[in-house]
Structure 1
Amino acid sequence: MDLTAPIDVTLVRRLIAAQFPNWADLPVEPVEPGGWDNRTFRLGDDKSVRLPSAASYVAQVEKEQRWLPRLAPHLPLPIPVPLAKGAPGQGYPWPWSVYGWLRGRPAANGGIADPTQFARSLADLLLALYRIDATGGPPAGQHNFHRGGRLAVYDAETRTALSALTGRIDTDTAQEVWASALGSGWQRPPVWVHGDVASGNLLVEDGKLCGVIDFGSSAVGDPACDLAIAWIEFSGESRQAFRDALALDAETWARGRGWALWKALITASGHDGNQREAAKSWAVIDEVLADHRRVDRR
């Protein structure tokens, strides 16, 4: 089925009225930014509606419906918990979800009071996630764009980006980072991973981390993918605090650098993202390469 109706307030109101009439009188407002994989709307004061924006994201609905209620009780901060599952209708072809609304605003909008404490709080949440029994959890794959899996799936894409950026970055060091990332794998039992630990998915209230959203890229596997934020959002003391709190081995951190480098390379080379994101990616590349050089000199 194809999407025949725009994903907007009108569609959400029609879907709610048709499938959950007890909520039909609640106001619906778009959440900005609304997200890429999904479009999110606020429903009343205490609910949100999340609709996949394309067929490739639909598998995330069933995954979140099944697993988030099982993960939430084991985590130190709130995550979205489904309240209802919607069905295709009103010109919208896929399943969708209603969640409880989480307080706070995305860290991407600023408001972090103490980056080092924020980094420790995030590490505490991730450690709690990694301790949850992963038996039966979904392995990494196309449903979550291989987060938690092996980086080799992006080898050709990364090498194409490196070639495109020759003369603009230190490609020799970048190739070392990439080779190091591909040179190891997670040797322990698979753990739950969030898969998209980014400032837009981390909620802040009173300057502190207060919740984590968007588990659409979650899976069980290698936690290295969750480390990319260390070079994207943290630096200096906050990055070190994040690393110390997680206490993961050097090879996992090398793979984490690989995840950060892959995304930054494809964005900076023009294969993904917009100009603003591309500019940020240049800074991430610099941070990853500098960090690799520091580690290599030890």
Structure 2
Amino acid sequence: MALAPSADLATSVDLVATLLAAQAPALADLPIRPHASGWDNDTYRLGETLAVRLPRREAAVPLIANEVRWLPVLGQFVTLRTPQPIVVGTPSQAFGRPWAVVEFIQGTPVSSVPVAERTSFAPQLADFLWSLHVPAPASAPVNPARGGSLATPATAERVRDRLAQLTEAGSRDLADALQPRWEAWVAAPDFDGVDAWVHGDLHPHNMLRGDDGQLAGVIDWGDMTAGDPACDLATAWLTFDDAGRAAFRGQIDEGGAVDSATWTRAKAWALHLGLILTTMSDDHPWLTAIGRHALNGVASESD
């Protein structure tokens, strides 16, 4: 499997301190400590309630720009907390990219919560998606990798390649089970509704559970886009087991307006994203685990 892309600009506690002193002096005396280094951003804790996010590679610059532009808008109507920007840093000689100070949401990544315990917040996640999946403005971000149609030759080729990787890694039975399901599900009618707001990367590592056992927030919005809500509904397989999935789908379906074709596209998205996560990186084992869980879930679907 591929390694995560290398950073093309190094970050450090000293760099964060320099940026804060120059552009956010009111926050410069707060303690700084490393928190996480993700696929796209390095994150540092700033005091107890804030975090600093810096793009670790050039490709991530538009993603953080989307977050600081649109999270204040989404935060007005979604039902879960999102990391609202407090300071939007500008490129400088010290760091030639935009960066941001955001609210830090306390919680445990859902990826580390046993799957059986996630059912308790399945209805809450469904309600969040109902609040998010409203018509997006024409100026909303467009992400070519999320929220669009999966029925493209390029996607078909990538899926074939990743199924071949599964086979080579010793999972031939799983790959053989997934192939006909992919072909059936990707043939579902394409989305033809009004483009809705879509998170685009709604897997368990991008959700946080609070001390009360319920969801505390949703993070990592760089892939947000306008498009087909089925992309986010794939979290039914990325996040839950059979019981949790039933609770999630039941709550979604109570609101109506999600037809069978949308759920079929959601299964196709779950398979597609599961393959990406399973084969993307040896140095992010939690992502591999999420992907494998999704693939096992969709492989058990009978239609």
TM-score (norm 2): 0.85
The DSSP-based 3-state class of the residue aligned with 2:300 is: helix
**2:148 alignment counterpart:** 149
Deviation at 1:36, TM superposition (A): 1.8
**1:200 alignment counterpart:** 205
Deviations 1:190-218 (A, max 9, x none): 10001111222111112111211111110
Deviation at 1:284, TM superposition (A): 2.7
Deviation at 1:17, TM superposition (A): 1.3
Equivalent position to 1:223, from 221, 229, 240 = 229
Gapped regions of structure 1 (runs ≥ 5): none
**1:59 alignment counterpart:** 62
**2:190 alignment counterpart:** 185
Equivalent position to 2:261, from 251, 266, 284 = 251
Further displaced range: 247-256 or 208-217: 247-256
**1:261 alignment counterpart:** 271
**Are 2:72 and 1:69 aligned?**
yes
**Are 2:110 and 1:110 aligned?**
no
Distance in 1 (alpha carbons) for counterparts of 2:114 and 2:299: 28
Deviation at 1:283, TM superposition (A): 3.8
Deviations 1:10-58 (A, max 9, x none): 21111111221221111111214x3221111111222211111211111
Quickly say closer, same or farther: Cα 1:221–1:103, change in 2 above 3 A: same
**Are 2:17 and 1:38 aligned?**
no
The DSSP-based 3-state class of the residue aligned with 1:6 is: coil
Distance in 1 (alpha carbons) for counterparts of 2:164 and 2:23: 51
Deviations 1:251-282 (A, max 9, x none): 222222222222333454x4544483445534
Further displaced range: 132-141 or 223-232: 132-141
**1:286 alignment counterpart:** 296
Distance in 2 (alpha carbons) for counterparts of 1:103 and 1:282: 27
> Identity over aligned residues, as a percent?
37
**2:217 alignment counterpart:** 211
The DSSP-based 3-state class of the residue aligned with 1:214 is: coil
Q: For 2:79, give the aligned amino acid.
A: P
Distance in 1 (alpha carbons) for counterparts of 2:55 and 2:191: 31
Distance in 2 (alpha carbons) for counterparts of 1:267 and 1:112: 17
Distance in 1 (alpha carbons) for counterparts of 2:8 and 2:244: 46
Distance in 2 (alpha carbons) for counterparts of 1:202 and 1:267: 16
Residue pair 1:138, 1:220 contacting (<8 A) in 2 also: yes
**Are 2:261 and 1:238 aligned?**
no
Quickly say closer, same or farther: Cα 1:281–1:215, change in 2 above 3 A: closer
Distance in 2 (alpha carbons) for counterparts of 1:275 and 1:29: 21
Quickly say closer, same or farther: Cα 1:237–1:125, change in 2 above 3 A: same
Q: For 1:255, give the aligned amino acid.
A: R
Deviation at 1:90, TM superposition (A): 5.0
Distance in 2 (alpha carbons) for counterparts of 1:175 and 1:50: 39
Quickly say closer, same or farther: Cα 1:27–1:259, change in 2 above 3 A: same
Quickly say closer, same or farther: Cα 1:154–1:113, change in 2 above 3 A: closer
**1:47 alignment counterpart:** 50
Quickly say closer, same or farther: Cα 1:11–1:160, change in 2 above 3 A: same
Deviation at 1:133, TM superposition (A): 4.4
Q: CA RMSD in A?
A: 2.5
Deviation at 1:181, TM superposition (A): 3.4
Distance in 2 (alpha carbons) for counterparts of 1:59 and 1:53: 12
Further displaced range: 225-234 or 106-115: 106-115
Residue pair 1:196, 1:217 contacting (<8 A) in 2 also: yes
The DSSP-based 3-state class of the residue aligned with 1:31 is: strand
Q: For 2:208, give the aligned amino acid.
A: L
**Are 2:180 and 1:176 aligned?**
yes
Distance in 2 (alpha carbons) for counterparts of 1:214 and 1:279: 19
Report 1 or 2 for greater relative contact order, CA contacts < 8 Å, sequence distance ≥ 6: 2
